[in-house]
């Protein structure tokens, strides 16, 4: 089974439990990480924002809070079930104009070059089958001088905390996540495996540079378990 099919299958299966488990397993830090990502991207109220691999739209909605009420953040994902949860969420919150969901693959975005002021991804770029190609596609649809923002899990570097964190991340989190979601495909075992394979902060910064981004900065948060990278299109 290809990575694309596997990822789509597991996220389809856990879509309805996804937000609850994210909040539970991150001890509610996930909200502050998304707010920080929106803030450091220096988005302004009338700018155009695209959030790829948007899932249930949490990062897209963090951006929507920074925008003009009449401006929608476009969120793309190749998993219909996740987008359906996002749509229900904004309707329940009475924010129907905050978020425009579009089913699309990050590797083949259906937008013209130089369209968006900010192109973001939160906890999703590691799930695409070709990370560099995904970042190049994000860069392509950004305007010149626009920002590409990547919020992703990272491996802590402090030895003592790293050991405790990896025990939680590899053992406790998958057990709780799979138990509550009742997932049979080890969806929450996939999470630590994918993070362990993901480039560290320096390597990701270099990849972003090779994809046409400059002045790439990264910010480690919560003892380094996540990092936010921000680069500007040349």
Residue 196 pLDDT: 93
- Low-confidence residues of the chain: pLDDT under 50: none
pLDDT tens for each residue of 132-176: 999 999 999 999 999 999 999 998 888 889 999 989 999 999 999
pLDDT at 24: 83
Pairing between strand 213-221 and 226-233?
antiparallel
Residues in the chain: 234
Cα 130–Cα 34–Cα 108 angle in degrees, nearest 5: 30
Residue 68, pLDDT score: 87
pLDDT at 103: 97
pLDDT at residue 97, rounded to an integer: 85
CA dist 6 and 27 (Å) reads 27
Set out the domains of the chain in order of their start, with CATH numbers: 3-156+194-233 (3.40.50.150)
Residue closest to 176 by CA, chosen among 78, 62, 133, 168: 168
pLDDT tens digit sequence for 71-85 = 899 999 999 999 999
Q: Helix (H, G, I), strand (E, B), or coil: what is residue 42? A: coil
- List for the chain the helix, strand, coil content (%; round to 5): 50, 20, 30
């Amino acid at each position: 089974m290809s990575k694309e099919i596997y990822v789509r299958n597991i996220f389809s299966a856990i879509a309805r439990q996804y937000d609850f488990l994210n909040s539970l397993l991150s001890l509610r830090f996930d909200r502050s990480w998304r707010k920080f990502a929106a803030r450091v991207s220096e988005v302004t109220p009338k700018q155009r924002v695209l959030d790829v691999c948007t899932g249930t739209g949490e990062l897209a909605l963090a951006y929507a809070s920074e925008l003009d009420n009449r401006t929608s953040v476009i969120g793309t994902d190749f998993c219909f079930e996740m987008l359906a949860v996002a749509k229900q969420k904004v309707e329940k919150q009475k924010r129907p104009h905050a978020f425009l969901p579009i089913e699309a693959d990050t590797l083949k975005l259906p937008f013209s070059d130089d369209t968006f002021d900010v192109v973001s991804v939160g906890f999703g770029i590691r799930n695409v089958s070709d990370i560099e190609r995904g970042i190049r596609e994000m860069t392509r649809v950004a305007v010149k001088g626009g920002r590409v923002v990547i919020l992703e899990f990272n491996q802590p570097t402090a030895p003592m905390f790293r050991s405790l964190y990896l025990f939680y991340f590899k053992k406790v989190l998958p057990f709780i996540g799979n138990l509550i979601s009742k997932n049979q495909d080890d969806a929450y075992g996939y999470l630590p495996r994918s993070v362990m394979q993901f480039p560290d902060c320096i390597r990701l910064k270099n990849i972003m540079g090779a994809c046409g981004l400059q002045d790439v900065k990264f910010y480690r948060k919560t003892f380094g378990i996540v990092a936010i990278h921000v680069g500007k299109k040349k």
